[in-house]
Structure 1
């Protein structure tokens, strides 16, 4: 069988030392924790099938422009790489092309940074045409200004992390060719965006509610989607187990049908090129009527992960959307962790594997998406309005009152105005003085 550029043979297995530089600027960031960030880098490396042989941390006021971690620390790293028999150094922060080139020549190993590692994982996860286009666009946009620093990187091990997706042949061509490729990918992505936008418009016209599942990677979004809708989606306890968005229908007890969409997981320092390339996909959250923020409540870094998700949603313009926060994985929590979880307001504590918890979540969705019950007086001969009432709401009671019908309805929040608009078109003089033929003053 012909070996593709991204296959890794046993001789080419990545064996890495992970390196983190903690600067004063990073320490000032509210969502940054150096130990957690390095631990997360280990998980990212393992997700990319890298054997992690050791770690190194350097504290400096700011990054060294030439060696990133400083010449002295680079010498220590060289000795550690030789001692461990490592062939790769993975940095927890983003490197410039010059820094990659200098470190590569000095250390004589492949140099990868956090951004490139995440992009590489995405390249391995993308399955749909849209996902593949988005990942390649993000990789090329990231690598274009760094080409001079990746010469050996692309040929050192004949594949492996940092070269999946576009592959070596594309990255070794000149900048003009890569710019042409980026332009072509953007054109293809625009077509995909138009197609996705068309689907969104169709869903809006049908009045179907859209609910987006968002959250930090590995929070359990895909598991929740599968448990709620019996969707055939890939579920695994790993970072970025699913990449391409999946939408499935869910019928609520009232008969209201909604569409649940599982979006790509967020992560600390999510590469800007990736956010830009995946904007069309991430905008599912922006277009949704309701956001389900799924949180891994069993992790000690829950607060930081929640803040990261808030930051990405704000960047997408979806921060002000109606939201229910779902504290997932409570079956894995300690009693102390459970006590810290909020219960008042739009918060739920669940395990995606408990039927009773899923039932409570479905009830919360229905309560949020369906309005309070309202009473409408409708002329009995207005079959179109009566039909609309049954279509957009759940009729709780109805009775005849002379030539009119009285309906007590739990009305779809998104659609209830339609009933009032249609009733307003009729002559209000038919109603007795002071009586509103549309929505009455009774709200239950």
Structure 2
């Protein structure tokens, strides 16, 4: 696998890189976030990489952005002194940094620098486990690198064409780098197409098993994997760490007094998710698109739980999740709230039809959660009788494509069919 935008050298064994986290608080930014929680999240992102040691972090107040260096001269000098005193090797900037700004700051401070997108790509590169996940991360990282060819990338330093002393060096370094990246992207796309076809076959096989799919979605570190493990008895990685889960995991779960379901755990969402990764992980999140029920797991104890929930909803909309997909908000981590606040959350959940208060750690509310899912899925997979005329070939083909036809009899004016489908499939059929 090619190096991601920043690759920690472990050729001589594990080595810890000393890092400093900066959150630029730009007053003129219309999308400005509360700097305190934003810095905490940035530090948590940095700590998600085991090879990084966060030595310090700070919010940097800015009236406006310097186009060439992001920060003003005085602030750069002040930070340089602090970075030098603490022997910092890597600076993480919680926000976008242009290639020119990155080059100038690295030169001024004598350190490597990563912006928010670069750091998230590093985490995904470190965590991806399935073949598809690895390929998608690598493609996203290469697309990111392609936009930042203002300096030599160590793994693309080879000059092409010419001898260097007669007729010039041939292609410039940037042209050679871009060509190398484009060639690798073509190879990766071909490999990914094969993997996606395999996943499609697996999905088709699952579609023949008439189990409803319940998908867990939510902001990263909301507790989805802990809930998944508690319900299914699986051993998915679940830590107090951002992006503990990247690749989707699916397990069957027999609900008490209810149907058997397939429960799907997915990658956590995050604000300002790099566009490269939204596109790259669309296929990974297809299980969400196919879900009969979505459980939006929220860390209700987090100071920015409302903002996080809004980010998740925005990403679901951008992914094209159907409006008719039944969605429940699962307010997790009530065990971390003070007693009075926890009681208020429980009372609020009792008033809301689609709101559930739980603790995946203590198990509070999980029996009720399973009961609500079972009730919502009553009749989720049911039989129905249809009559289609000979002119309804498109509808008939769609039913067979969905593999819901139980039996069929041909009549004088068409076909009598018995189908076994979910409410979601029935709604889709009505729209044909």
TM-score (ref. length: structure 2): 0.77
Alignment counterpart, residue 218 of structure 2, candidates 204, 215, 220: 215
8 Å CA contact 1:87–1:110 kept in 2: the answer is: yes
**Deviation, structure 1 residue 353:** 3.6
Q: Which residue of 2 aligns with 1:200?
A: 203
Residues 192 and 57 of structure 1: is their aligned pair in 2 closer, same or farther, counting only changes over 3 Å? same
**Deviation, structure 1 residue 184:** 1.6
8 Å CA contact 1:207–1:415 kept in 2: the answer is: no
Q: Which residue of 2 aligns with 1:325?
A: 329
Q: Which residue of 2 aligns with 1:414?
A: 423
**Deviation, structure 1 residue 296:** 1.1
**Alpha-carbon distance in 2 for matches of 1:337, 1:300:** 13
Residue pairs, 1:342-361, within 5 angstroms: 342-343=348-349, 344-355=352-363, 357-361=365-369
**Deviation, structure 1 residue 51:** 2.0
Unaligned ranges ≥5, structure 1: 156-170, 377-391, 393-410, 419-444
Residues 349 and 152 of structure 1: is their aligned pair in 2 closer, same or farther, counting only changes over 3 Å? same
**Alpha-carbon distance in 2 for matches of 1:193, 1:147:** 30
8 Å CA contact 1:18–1:52 kept in 2: the answer is: yes
8 Å CA contact 1:15–1:86 kept in 2: the answer is: yes
The answer to whether the aligner puts 1:48 opposite 2:49 as a matched pair is yes
Residues 244 and 415 of structure 1: is their aligned pair in 2 closer, same or farther, counting only changes over 3 Å? closer
The answer to whether the aligner puts 1:369 opposite 2:370 as a matched pair is no
Alignment counterpart, residue 105 of structure 1, candidates 104, 107, 110: 107
Q: Higher mean Cα deviation, 291-300 or 13-22?
A: 13-22
**Alpha-carbon distance in 2 for matches of 1:211, 1:25:** 42
Residues 340 and 85 of structure 1: is their aligned pair in 2 closer, same or farther, counting only changes over 3 Å? same
Residue pairs, 1:357-436, within 5 angstroms: 357-371=365-379, 414=423
**Alpha-carbon distance in 2 for matches of 1:319, 1:75:** 51
Q: Higher mean Cα deviation, 268-277 or 145-154?
A: 145-154
Q: Which residue of 1 aligns with 2:408?
A: none
Q: Which residue of 2 aligns with 1:70?
A: 72
| 1:37-57 Cα distance to aligned partner (Å, 9 max, x none) | 111111111121322222333
Unaligned ranges ≥5, structure 2: 1-6, 158-173, 385-403, 405-419, 428-432
| 1:16-47 Cα distance to aligned partner (Å, 9 max, x none) | 22222222453x327x2222111111111112
Please identify runs of 4+ aligned residues in structure 1 that moved more than 4 A.
8-12, 150-155, 415-418
Matched residue SS, 1:267: coil
Larger radius of gyration: 1
Matched residue SS, 1:147: coil
**Alpha-carbon distance in 1 for matches of 2:290, 2:426:** 20
Residues 417 and 34 of structure 1: is their aligned pair in 2 closer, same or farther, counting only changes over 3 Å? closer
Residue pairs, 1:431-442, within 5 angstroms: none
**Alpha-carbon distance in 2 for matches of 1:87, 1:34:** 24
8 Å CA contact 1:216–1:267 kept in 2: the answer is: yes
**Deviation, structure 1 residue 12:** 5.0
8 Å CA contact 1:370–1:413 kept in 2: the answer is: no
**Alpha-carbon distance in 2 for matches of 1:119, 1:87:** 19
Residues 11 and 110 of structure 1: is their aligned pair in 2 closer, same or farther, counting only changes over 3 Å? farther
8 Å CA contact 1:16–1:86 kept in 2: the answer is: yes
**Deviation, structure 1 residue 58:** 2.8
Residues 272 and 121 of structure 1: is their aligned pair in 2 closer, same or farther, counting only changes over 3 Å? same
Which has a greater percent of helix?
1
Alignment counterpart, residue 120 of structure 2, candidates 118, 123, 131: 118
Q: Which residue of 2 aligns with 1:166?
A: none
TM-score (ref. length: structure 1): 0.75
| 1:100-146 Cα distance to aligned partner (Å, 9 max, x none) | 11111111111111111111111111111111111111111111111
8 Å CA contact 1:369–1:412 kept in 2: the answer is: no
**Deviation, structure 1 residue 314:** 1.2
Residues 181 and 370 of structure 1: is their aligned pair in 2 closer, same or farther, counting only changes over 3 Å? same
**Alpha-carbon distance in 2 for matches of 1:362, 1:269:** 33
Aligned length: 367
Q: Higher mean Cα deviation, 195-204 or 34-43?
A: 195-204
Q: Aligned-residue CA RMSD in angstroms? A: 3.3
| 1:34-88 Cα distance to aligned partner (Å, 9 max, x none) | 2211111111111213222223333334321100122222121111111222122
Matched residue SS, 1:370: coil
8 Å CA contact 1:98–1:149 kept in 2: the answer is: no
Matched residue SS, 2:250: strand
Residues 370 and 180 of structure 1: is their aligned pair in 2 closer, same or farther, counting only changes over 3 Å? same
Matched residue SS, 2:184: helix
Q: Which residue of 2 aligns with 1:175?
A: 178
**Deviation, structure 1 residue 357:** 2.3
